[in-house]
């Protein structure tokens, strides 16, 4: 029996310390390669650390809530001699990328569907971040057939055998002296299945049956306080999707905000300044007292943007991708940066560095605080690619899985305060950037069109700039360009 000592690793960006948030194992637990040992919080993100060893948990050396330096031994693992990074052949294999789909398919089967499965190839045990991904075999995808299609297959008439007429009844074996046996019917062909049976089932309100969804979505629902039994599923197999949970959480939050909590019994609450909150405070002070801010505002008729978003939502090209006015705003920012490159720069004591690429930051409010991940090389993305990148960024941030690399090297930022019902604000620059734009809420207001007052969707766009770099005329032209795209998205086709 050998003792392996697991030290706190540097999870990226040269971080020197992290806080132990929650242990996922206890002394005496049997663990496998890639099993999550502990959840840690760095100055920028929440990270789960997997085990590189197979064995039994020996001793947990650091308690939850303790901040330790990188390189500190935090846990010991007892294993057989030689069973460290190379797991024994009889150890349970690490879950592959298809495991969530497999669980979803199994749940669909329990709910009344049937599953046809191709044989799966064995997957080697590889610690996360190790091994050659190109040589790893992948599991063939399971095909889940809705129950309606299964019933249609069972009741469909069989095709007559070649060379003879179709039998009018069951055929018996006349050469046998024993009891007559019914010949098994020929397997139905795919053409025998009515198209309606294979169509995507219509969304229906939740019934008393089991909730079908993937484990990550169950965790998201738990974090957001959403009761999955009350969520209307819209997934392909009658499963609850991430969008269903987020929609339910948004609706429920309206009613939660109406409730007023009781006064706490403690007169004061003391919250340690550490982790993400500490970094936010340092960054905001540095930005506010280093870069002289100048702010501008403009009211915009966003009616055509709302119509454009509505068309994109029903477009087959954007099926399964979240589309919102933020997508048009992001594209407008990129277009305006190309016309006014000075806003996409950084000021140093020796020089001004203008960046001819856009790493577009999106300010995201998470349970752990405000973070600003960015979309790398956004200037090269199509509208569809940008929509997918925005959705991925938002989900990752909400789940607390944003990596330090995803929050570094931003060039310009959007903050969408409209989701909180705010008309506008004076945003503080993200440190190291020269511009930030705030998108306010979009709502119907009276607006003068061709001399007549009409109801239009109107928003207010605010922006702040580093006045050491961006002069007033450049800032005004940039904001006017952004506003022109929100007023007429067709300009993006130029």
- pLDDT tens by residue, 269-290: 888 887 777 877 888 888 888 8
Domain 2-79: CATH architecture, name and number where available: Beta Barrel (2.40)
Q: What is the pLDDT of residue 379?
A: 95
pLDDT of residue 425 exceeding 70, the answer is yes
pLDDT by residue (tens digit) across 52-88?
Answer: 888 899 889 988 888 888 888 999 988 875 554 444 4
pLDDT of residue 493 exceeding 70, the answer is yes
Q: What is the CATH number of domain 277-493?
A: 3.30.559.10
- Measured CA to CA, the distance from residue 11 to residue 404 in angstroms comes to 8
* Residue in 150, 293, 356, 467 annotated catalytic: 467
Per the listing, tokens 């669909």 go with: 108
Q: Which helix (H) or strand (E) holds 56?
A: strand 55-60
Domain 204-256: CATH architecture, name and number where available: Irregular (4.10)
Per the listing, tokens 């925005």 go with: 390
pLDDT by residue (tens digit) across 375-414?
Answer: 999 999 999 999 999 999 988 888 778 888 888 899 999 9
Q: What is the pLDDT of residue 445?
A: 93
Question: Which pLDDT band holds residue 259 (cuts at 50, 70, 90)?
Answer: low
Above pLDDT 70, what percent of the chain? 70
270 is an active site residue = no
Q: Considering only residues 26 and 208, tell me which one the structure prediction assigns the higher pLDDT.
A: 26
How many residues are given for the chain?
Answer: 494
Q: What is the pLDDT of residue 97?
A: 43
Is there a contact between 159 and 185 (Cβ–Cβ < 8 Å)? no
Q: Most confidently modeled of 164-173, 229-238, 313-322, 431-440? A: 431-440
Q: How many CB atoms lie within 10 A of CB 479?
A: 23
- Measured CA to CA, the distance from residue 372 to residue 92 in angstroms comes to 38
Q: Which residues contact 30 (CB under 8 A, 6 or more apart)?
A: 55, 56, 57
pTM: 0.55
- The boundaries of every CATH 2.40.50.100 domain in the chain are 2-79
- Measured CA to CA, the distance from residue 49 to residue 40 in angstroms comes to 8
Mean pLDDT of the chain: 77
pLDDT of residue 343 exceeding 80, the answer is yes
Query: DSSP code of 127?
Result: -
Query: DSSP code of 121?
Result: P
pLDDT by residue (tens digit) across 119-175?
Answer: 444 444 444 444 444 444 444 445 444 555 444 444 444 444 444 444 444 444 444
pLDDT of residue 369 exceeding 80, the answer is no
- The boundaries of every CATH 3.30.559.10 domain in the chain are 277-493
Question: Which pLDDT band holds residue 470 (cuts at 50, 70, 90)?
Answer: very high
Question: Which pLDDT band holds residue 351 (cuts at 50, 70, 90)?
Answer: very high
pLDDT of residue 12 exceeding 70, the answer is no
């Amino acid at each position: 029996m050998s003792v392996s000592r697991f030290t706190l690793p540097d999870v990226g960006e040269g971080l020197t310390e992290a806080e132990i948030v929650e242990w996922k194992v206890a002394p005496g637990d049997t663990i496998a390669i890639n099993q999550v040992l502990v959840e840690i919080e760095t100055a920028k993100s929440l990270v789960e650390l997997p085990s590189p060893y197979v064995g039994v948990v020996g001793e947990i050396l650091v308690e939850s809530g303790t901040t330790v330096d990188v390189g500190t031994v935090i846990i010991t693992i007892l294993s057989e001699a030689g069973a460290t990074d190379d797991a024994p052949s009889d150890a349970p294999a690490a879950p592959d990328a298809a495991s969530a789909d497999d669980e979803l398919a199994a749940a669909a089967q329990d709910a009344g569907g049937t599953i046809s499965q191709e044989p799966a190839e064995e997957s080697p045990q590889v610690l996360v971040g190790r091994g050659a991904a190109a040589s790893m075999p992948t599991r063939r995808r399971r095909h889940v057939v809705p129950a309606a299609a299964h019933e249609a297959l069972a009741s469909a008439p069989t095709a007559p055998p070649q060379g003879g007429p179709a039998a009018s009844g069951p055929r018996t074996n006349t050469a046998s002296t024993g009891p007559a046996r019914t010949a098994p019917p020929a397997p139905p062909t795919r053409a025998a299945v009515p198209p309606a049976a294979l169509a995507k089932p219509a969304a229906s309100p939740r019934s008393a049956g089991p909730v079908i969804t993937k484990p990550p979505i169950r965790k998201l629902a738990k974090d957001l306080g959403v009761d999955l039994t009350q969520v209307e599923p819209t997934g392909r197999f009658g499963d609850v999707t991430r969008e269903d949970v987020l929609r339910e959480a948004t609706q429920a939050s309206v009613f939660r905000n109406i409730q007023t909590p009781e006064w706490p019994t403690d007169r004061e609450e003391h919250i340690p300044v550490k982790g993400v909150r500490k970094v936010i405070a340092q960054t905001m002070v540095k930005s506010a007292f280093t870069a002289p801010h100048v702010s501008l505002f403009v009211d915009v008729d966003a009616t055509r943007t709302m119509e454009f978003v509505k068309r994109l939502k029903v477009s087959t090209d954007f099926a399964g991708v979240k589309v919102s006015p933020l997508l048009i705003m992001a594209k407008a920012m990129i277009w305006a940066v190309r016309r006014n490159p000075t806003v996409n720069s950084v000021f140093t004591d020796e020089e001004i560095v203008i960046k001819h690429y856009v790493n577009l930051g999106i300010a995201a409010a998470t349970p752990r605080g405000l973070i600003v991940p960015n979309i790398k090389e956004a200037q090269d993305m199509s509208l569809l690619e940008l929509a997918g990148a925005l959705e991925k960024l938002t989900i990752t941030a909400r789940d607390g899985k944003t990596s330090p690399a995803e929050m570094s090297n931003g060039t310009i930022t959007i903050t969408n305060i409209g989701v909180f019902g705010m008309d506008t604000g004076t945003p503080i620059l993200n440190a190291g950037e020269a511009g930030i734009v705030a998108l306010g809420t979009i709502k119907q207001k009276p607006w003068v069109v061709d001399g007549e007052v009409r109801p239009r969707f109107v928003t207010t766009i605010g922006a702040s700039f580093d006045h050491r770099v961006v002069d007033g005329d450049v800032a005004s032209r940039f904001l006017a360009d952004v506003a022109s795209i929100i007023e007429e998205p067709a300009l993006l086709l130029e």
